[in-house]
Amino acid sequence: MLGRRDPQQSLFSAQNLPHRVGADSFYGRMAAVSHVLFDDEDLKALYDASNVRPSLPPSLLCGVMLLQFHDDVSDGEAVERLQFDLRWQVALDLPTDFAGFSPSSLTYFRRRLVEHGQERYAFDRFVAVGRRAGFVPDRVTLLTDTTRVRGAGAVQDTYTLLRKGMRKLLKQMGYASAAKRCGLAADTQRLVATYVEQERKAEIDWSDPEQRSAQLNVLFRDAEAVLELAATQSDDAEVRATGWLLVKILGDDIEQDEQGAPRLAKGTAPDRIISLTEPEMRHGRKSSAQRFDGFKVGTTTEQTSELILDIADMPAAGSDGRALMPTLERIERHCGVTVDQVIADGAYGSGANRNACATHAPAPVDLVAPLTLPADPAVHKSAFRIDLAAGTATCPQGHTVAGRAGPIKSGLPTWRFCFPRPTCEACPLFVRCVKSKRNGRSLTTHPYEADLQAARERQATDEFQSTYRLRSAIERKQAELVQHGLRNTRYLGQPKRQLQRLWTAAAVNLHRLFQLCENRNADLAALLAVQTQPLATVT
């Protein structure tokens, strides 16, 4: 059943005893609103009313989790701080002789939050406060960017991926049970003995290429045998999912030589699996020199208040810009605002994003994102005057040609323009402009050419430059999140990963609310005491 905080203060309450926790510190400010920071009744759906044994108060556990992610400490360290750290005792209004509880209680509480869809509880609560106070207006300008984070799974090589994959698949089929292993065919018995009963790295000289090659051949043949066994003996959903992972590993990591023998594939597949403990982890790059293993986290803040309105995991590989429109939809749905403008870096400035923002409902969104500057602007496509309505293109020297229908891209038509070779050869820019050895310069328009043309023209204006400079605030916010542990993922699985992102952002947002309320003489305790309501109804 739901446990509740006792309103009766202890004689040894840390807040009532002399202490040196600054009233202007995060802990001191949290102490001032500790009685209304979270409400036990908000989370009563997490508990079974028929169970007469009271739980730990969810408001207390929420406060502990908030401080845990603020200070970036483990479950065990969090419980120790409840017992011995005066700052935590003051912040949560606990007695100095607080007995603590098992660290596993935090594990179970996080699980309850995820199972009941309440992982956004603290995050949404603080954003709602910002809306009620008027810190977040009805029509918002957003700043968005991504940062890299390490995954919690172990990065594994191809040999380990195959070995662990076969072990997982065989165990899911029930071969960990001694009863299931009775009466098996000899080859199946060998597979079970090798990958379930023993399951250890082969004892070979791993510095010898021939021995490594021979071991890869064994693993490849055994993996095919295990997959065949899974296909004929089980249609379980988990078995199929693990089987798909094993097939993908074989396809991405292994190729066959001229004799048909397996060997490690050259290069790296774009969506290569790197860990079976966390199959969604990927190799990623934030730049050509900065590689990481894990995920990206997209963070979006409101420009005037600097409150975080959205934070979410993204795959490590691929462009940041593909998450733009889902982010806008989440913010409008959860925060009850209308997005007027988005300021982002060049990764978000694709033609598809510009077109989607221009046609966004209920209102168009102004996307302020730069286009990459060309290496040689004098001969770049942007130097040509392309008239899509007339179907003509004019080169920088004033020569005009008519276009013809080009290939269909992204389901949209394009134009193709070809300039005569003799005309190009007479041009002083010929060597820089024309790469073909037989034809003149050719151009193919982008499916969203009109959106890109408008963006190039705007990028040259002072208005664009002054607006785009506001983007630096999102980088400061990301740096603050990193200080609170965002860079290191604690948990396996998307739901718990997202819980970590949301509660870290909630701690950062609470810190910002303290500052906003102080600057604008607002009563945060009164704002928190307002009955919780859906954010979409906040006006």
Q: What is the pLDDT of residue 536?
A: 42
In a domain, 109, yes or no: yes
Return the higher-pLDDT residue of 261 and 535: 261
pLDDT band at 537 (very low <50, low <70, confident <90, very high): very low
DSSP 141: E
Please report whether residue 48 resides in a domain.
Answer: yes
The number of domains in the chain is 3
b (16+ CB within 10 A) / e for 447-477 = bbbbbbbebeeebeeeebeebbeebeebeeb
Residues 31 and 127 in one domain: yes
- Looking at the structure, do residues 30 and 124 belong to the same domain, yes or no? yes
Do 125 and 181 share a domain, yes or no?
A: no
Of the three residues 216, 244, 264, the one that is the final residue of a domain is: 264
What does the DSSP assignment read for 455-501?
HHHHHTSHHHHHHHGGGHHHHHHHHHHHHTTTTB--SSSHHHHHHHH
Q: Average the pLDDT over each of 9-23, 60-74, 328-342 and give the range with the smallest value.
A: 9-23
pLDDT at residue 167 is higher than 80: yes
- What is the mean predicted confidence (pLDDT) over 289-316? 95
| Boundaries of domain holding 111 | 26-134+503-537
- Do 37 and 126 belong to one domain? yes
Which pTM was predicted?
Answer: 0.91
Calpha distance 162→150 (Å, rounded) = 23
Q: Do 195 and 125 share a structural domain? A: no
User: φ and ψ at 267, to 5 degrees?
Assistant: 80, 180
- B/e letters for 230-247, b = 16+ CB within 10 Å, e = fewer, are beeebeeeebeebbebbe
- Judge if 128 and 194 occupy the same domain: no
- Residue 190 near residue 198 (C-beta atoms within 8 A): no
Q: What's the Cα-to-Cα distance from 473 to each of 71, 311, 469, rounded to whole Å?
A: 23, 15, 9
∠ at Cα 489 (487, 490), nearest 5°?
A: 135
Tens-place pLDDT, residues 503-531? 999 999 999 999 999 999 999 999 999 86
Shared-domain flag, residues 174 and 209 = yes
Strands (E), 274-346: 282-287, 290-302, 308-315, 338-343
Say if 10 falls within a structural domain: no
Please report, in angstroms and rounded to a whole number, the separation of the first and last CA atoms in the chain. 35
Q: What is the CA radius of gyration of the chain?
A: 29
* Residue 532 belongs to a domain: yes
Q: In 234-323, which residue ranges form alpha helices assigned H by DSSP?
A: 237-253
Query: What are the φ/ψ torsions at residue 518 (nearest 5 degrees)?
Result: -65, -45
Asked if residue 202 lies in contact with residue 215, where contact means CB atoms within 8 angstroms, the answer is yes
The pLDDT tens digits for 225-247 are: 999 999 887 678 889 999 999 99
pLDDT score recorded for residue 418 = 96
Asked if 245 contacts 273 with a C-beta cutoff of 8 angstroms, the reply is yes
313 belongs to a structural domain: no
Confidence bin at 534 (pLDDT 50/70/90):
very low
Mean predicted confidence (pLDDT) in 328-346: 96
Same-domain status, 130 and 171:
no
Sign for the CA dihedral angle at 529, 530, 531, 534 comes to negative
Query: Is residue 298 classed as helix, strand or coil in its secondary structure?
Result: strand
| Domain assignment present for 148 | no
Q: What is the pLDDT of residues 127-165, one digit of tens each?
A: 999 999 999 999 999 999 999 999 999 999 999 999 999
DSSP single-letter state for residue 26: H
Is the same domain home to 114 and 162?
A: no
**Residue 392 in this model has a pLDDT that exceeds 50:** yes
Same domain, 179 and 255: yes
On whether both 128 and 32 belong to a single domain, the answer is yes
Q: Which among 199, 232, 264 is the end of a domain?
A: 264
Share of the chain above pLDDT 90, in %: 79
H helical segments located in 141-208: 158-172, 186-192
Question: What pairs with residue 416 in β-bridges?
Answer: 404, 444
pLDDT for residue 179 is more than 80: no
Q: Residue 539: is its pLDDT beyond 60?
A: no
162 touches 249 (CB < 8 A): yes
Q: What is the Cα–Cα distance from 37 to 40, expressed in whole angstroms?
A: 10
Is there a single domain that holds both residue 174 and residue 130?
Answer: no
Query: Is position 298 within any domain?
Result: no
Give the span between the Cα atoms of 510 and 261, in whole angstroms.
59
Strand partners, 342: 142, 367
What is the per-residue pLDDT for 115?
Answer: 95
pLDDT at res. 2: 86
Residue 433 covered by a domain: yes
Mean pLDDT of 366-372: 95
